[in-house]
Amino acid sequence: MLRTFRIGGIHPPENKLSAGKKIVRLAVPKQVIVPLSQHIGAPAQAIVKKGDVVKAGTLIAKPSGFVSANIHSPVSGKINKIDAAIDASGYKRTAIYIDVEGDEWEESIDKSDKLIRECHFSAKEIVDKIAAAGIVGLGGATFPTQIKLTPPPGSKAEILIINAVECEPYLTSDHILMLEKGEEILVGVTLLMKSIDVKKAVIGIENNKPDAIKHLKKLASSFSGIEIMPLKVQYPQGGEKQLIDAVMRKQVKSGALPISAGAVVQNVGTAFAVYEAVQKNKPLFERVVTVTGKKLSNPSNFLTRIGTPIHTLIEEAGGLPENTGKVIGGGPMMGKALISPDVPVTKGSSGVLILTKEESVRKPMQNCIRCAKCVNVCPMGLNPTLLMNATEFKSWEMAEANYIVDCIECGSCSFTCPSNRPLLDHIRMGKGKVMGIIRARKA
């Protein structure tokens, strides 16, 4: 019996249209737009100014707080301006515009494809290199990686869990990365294990990717302590707490961090970035992005520089279809509908999904019939319809008492509701409100 998480869950159509498509390296665009907010936490602070000349890999922005991350230039060229740009969030935020000239990389970066397995760095040196490379969680959460690798005093990790489930429909970037960069990923996992001093790592992969499971299992035999665990397909298995439950049969307590269960979870793409940062001195300035959609002529997996406008990727995948309704940054369950295809690729961009007008239209909402299907699918064991009502009636106490802040915004409730009720829209709003109330109370 394959493992999976034990509360709730749904099975949306997988639609992995770009599965098996080789990673194609995209040409460097004429101009990149590098937002200073590419991670959770405080925006980075620009350390370059207009007219400065940079290479690919040059540090251009520094962290401005504890939860923040370095940002490096993804290209060589000249800083055009530092100005507001609309990013995937839909808001105008500060970004660095760089006009591209050639493609020169920092000399310290090892550009060769040669695999380097040996590592003589200490745990602290590894974490420092990861922080210096500006690595954040590449699954989409974009939490600065070095913080997760530095557990709070008194807690100790027992196991490293690598999130390779890729449970979002359509997305295939992690899948193809495992097939093409399997060894590099395993070296990255070994480095992560060393950085938190654990002897055991489990790579969780949903069993709709049998080729990746087989490939990594074969490779893992020459690495010590790495187990490949096939998991039963179920969304949202990529949720941190869900994955820990699936792999360890342990539920992280409400409000607690994964480390309380002895686990540190990292995305498989992050493990690859860690390999490149530590073994190749390469900062995080490019990533694999799936570009997909049913009407798109050529769904693809691209290796692209951060800051590349998304329309460039769409053109390479066959161009924006006639009937486009939505362009989504990320997958269909948790991705963000983009205001325009001009927004840049950022560290957290796992995919670009194009939906037709028909696919984009929501059906009219009907009365709640209390069928409890939202309750049954909620992976956090919440009552979504109750939380939606509490938000509508501004009953913040009721919302808090029913654990609204535990919502992981996976969207399973809205996906399932037979009455087409926008459950998550309301819950997200109520969650923000209740979190504000809790912060105010603590202050």
Partner 1 sequence: MENKLIISPSPHIHSGDSVSKNMYGVLIALLPALLVSLYYFGLGALIVTLVSVLSCVLFEFLIQKFLIKQPQTIYDGSAVLTGLLLAFNLPSNLPIWIILIGALAAIGIGKMSFGGLGNNIFNPALVGRVFLLISFPAQMTTWPVPGTIPMDYVDGQTGATILSLLNEGATELPSYTDMLLGNMGGSLGEVSAIALLLGFAFLLVRKIISWHIPVSIILTTFVFTGIMHLVNPAEYVNPIIHILSGGLLLGAIFMATDYVTSPMSKSGMLVFGIGIGLLTSVIRLFGAYPEGMSFAILIMNALTPLINMYFKPKHFGGK
Find the binding residues for partner 1 in span 151-190 (CB under 8 A): 169
Q: Compare residues 28 and 314 and give the one whose CB is closer to partner 1.
A: 314
376 binds partner 1 (CB under 8 A): yes
Candidates 31, 326, 433, 437: give the one binding partner 1 (CB under 8 A): 326
71 binds partner 1 (CB under 8 A): no
Contact 206, 237 (CB under 8 A): yes
Instruction: Report DSSP letters for 373-387, one per residue.
Output: HHHHH-TT---HHHH
Q: How many angstroms separate the CA atoms of 227 and 388, rounded?
A: 41
334 binds partner 1 (CB under 8 A): yes
Q: Compare residues 24 and 375 and give the one whose CB is closer to partner 1.
A: 375
325 binds partner 1 (CB under 8 A): yes
22 binds partner 1 (CB under 8 A): no
Candidates 92, 199, 254, 435: give the one binding partner 1 (CB under 8 A): 254
How far apart are CB 387 and partner 1 at their closest, in Å?
11
- 170 φ/ψ sector (left φ>0, alpha ψ -120 to 50, else beta): left
Candidates 47, 119, 303, 375: give the one binding partner 1 (CB under 8 A): 375
What would the x/- binding string for partner 1 be over residues 335 to 374, using CB under 8 A? xxxxxxx-----------x-x-x-xxxxx--xxxxxxxx-
Helices in 141-222 by DSSP H: which ranges? 145-148, 173-180, 182-196, 210-220
Q: Compare residues 395 and 402 and give the one whose CB is closer to partner 1.
A: 402
How far apart are CB 239 and partner 1 at their closest, in Å?
10
Contact 26, 75 (CB under 8 A): no
Residues 407-426 that bind partner 1 (CB under 8 A): 409, 411-412, 414-420, 422, 424-425
Candidates 162, 205, 263, 378: give the one binding partner 1 (CB under 8 A): 378
Q: Name the phi and psi angles at 131, rounded to 5.
A: -65, -45
Q: Compare residues 116 and 361 and give the one whose CB is closer to partner 1.
A: 361
What share of residues in the chain are helix, strand, coil (percent, to 5)?
30, 20, 50
Q: Compare residues 170 and 275 and give the one whose CB is closer to partner 1.
A: 170
Q: Name the phi and psi angles at 188, rounded to 5.
A: -60, -40
Residues 109-142: b if buried by 16+ CB within 10 A, e if exposed: beeeeeeeeeeeeeeeebbebbbbbbbbbbbbbb
Contact 266, 145 (CB under 8 A): yes
